Amino acid sequence: MKVLVINAGSSSLKYQLIDMDSERMLAKGNCERIGMDGSIFIHKTSDGRGKRVQVPMKDHTDAFMYVTQALTDAKVGVIKNLDEVSAIGHRVAQGGSIFRKSVLVNNEVIEGIRSLIPLAPLHNGPELEGILACQKVFGEELPEVVVFDTSFHSTMPPKAYMYAIPYEYYKNMESAVMASMERPTGMSAAIVRI
């Protein structure tokens, strides 16, 4: 089983392809300066092959296309085709109080992440773009899992996570997130709960 792990930042996309049977990293890389002049794509394999090229990357979708091309490339690739990828993992910065643990990606999760962009505007937007790019390339049938940085703190009691800020700030941000969220038909109450 091979798992592709994605970490999309505001102007970068880091990745690793891991063989879970041997627990070995097969390839890793970085797309740097996404959306800027002088974008750089770096790809390295566990056996020392690699490439570093300056290429245009207007967004994270472009960056992800370079990743998939490198993984299957005749010279620096580590898999014959993308069907060898069994699952994808994404790191997402902000799960707010909506996501307290890792979740499988579905439409509700996508809308939940989108609603939390105001809490992490430099991260959740690009991370969501990475998820959507993966769905375009691999289809929606391939399992994608999202791991939230904020899950670590989700078991803290309110007095601990609200101590450092005035309560009005917390309520104002909660209202802003709720106002920005478009609730699709059938969205569960658990996703909307803040």
What are the chain's domains?
1-194 (3.30.420.40)
Backbone angles phi, psi at 5, to 5 degrees: -110, 130
pLDDT in tens, 136-146: 888 889 999 99
Instruction: State yes or no: pLDDT of 192 exceeds 50.
Output: no
More confident position, 47 or 190: 47
Report the candidate in 154, 134, 155 with the shortest Cα–Cα distance to residue 143: 134
Look at the block and give the residue holding tokens 């992440």.
Answer: 113
CA triple 150-143-58, angle to 5 deg: 70
Question: Quick one: pLDDT at residue 43?
Answer: 98
104-120: b (≥16 Cβ within 10 Å) or e: ebeebbbbbbebbbebb
Could you confirm whether 47 is annotated as catalytic? no
Question: Quick one: pLDDT at residue 177?
Answer: 56
pLDDT in tens, 50-64: 999 999 999 988 999
Residue from 19, 37, 83, 149 carrying the catalytic annotation: 149
Which DSSP state fits 97? T
